[in-house]
Amino acid sequence: MRSNYDINKLTPYSGKGIEMIRITAHDYDIEEGMDFAREVKRKGYKLSINPINIMGYSDERILWIIEQVNEIQPYQFSIVDTFGSMKRRDLDRIVSLVDNNLDKNIRVALHLHENMSLSCCLAQQFVDKHLNRPIAIDGSLLGMGRIPGNLPIELIADYLNDYTDSTYDIDYLMDAIQEYIEPIKGKSEWGYSPAYFLSARFNLHRNYAEYYLEKGDLSNRDINHILAAFDREKASTFDREYAENKYQAYKNNIINDNEAVTRLKESLKNKKYY
């Protein structure tokens, strides 16, 4: 996980203060992340292991991760759709792999993003699987988060009230949104955006979409074509130089035929057709 934090500075859990620590790791440093997680667990903290971009792993690699998690025995393992690219069948496949291979005493969590506006649908489906273990679902009021945002917690709370024995008070959530979250959204936007759908479509880091939006001279169609040509090894970590090279190559290949179209229209303007 290439952390800048020295694990030796983490004091053992005293029974007060921070109780649970979440460990994340990319595909390229997942082994190091597991070693870090072992140290956190050894120091007595509740532990959540959250591999970044689970959609980027093969089934075989997911099973290897689960094997490591079973050995570590954390409090929670989280299915994290970092790039918002998960669809219904992806959820079915990954949850099946996790639930059938993860020790039953480990809680399973789900962390979703709104790139494809599917977070609430996927969260409902996760609930409806009725896994024979504790579960958790991450969310935020009004879906607040770095654009495109996260699962709106008020939506899944309402669903849980309707279809489980939950009794979340929606009034309090509405009050909090109106008083605290809506003023923030007026200053920092989030929510569905076609460009971030496109980064999710190709399971790419969301910063690529942001980078091309900031160029100001690309249409959504242009962004779609640029991202479609990305090498998979560049997917999980944003590479500014690579993104710029792709942008320049695309711009150099664009043919501006406006002048030719204008000349053609002029030449055909007075033509008679029979």
| pLDDT tens profile 174-192 | 999 999 999 999 888 899 9
Q: pLDDT tens digits for 205-251?
A: 999 999 999 999 999 999 999 999 999 999 999 999 999 999 999 99
Residues 45, 12: Cα–Cα separation, whole Å: 8
Whole-angstrom Cα distance, residue 89 to residue 263? 51
The fraction of the chain above a pLDDT of 90, given in percent, is: 87
> 7-138 falls under which CATH superfamily?
Aldolase class I (3.20.20.70)
pLDDT at 125 over 60: yes
Residue 2 predicted with pLDDT over 60? no
| CB within 8 Å of 214: residues ≥ 6 apart | none
Q: How sure is the predictor about 4, in pLDDT bands with cuts at 50, 70 and 90?
A: confident
Buried b (16+ CB within 10 A) or exposed e, 190-226: bbebebbbbbbbbbbbbebbbbbbeeeebeeebbbeb
The pLDDT assigned to 256 comes to 61
For the segment 85-101, the average pLDDT, to the nearest whole number, is 98
Q: How far is CA 90 from the centre of its chain?
A: 13
- Return the residue matching tokens 């970044």: 52
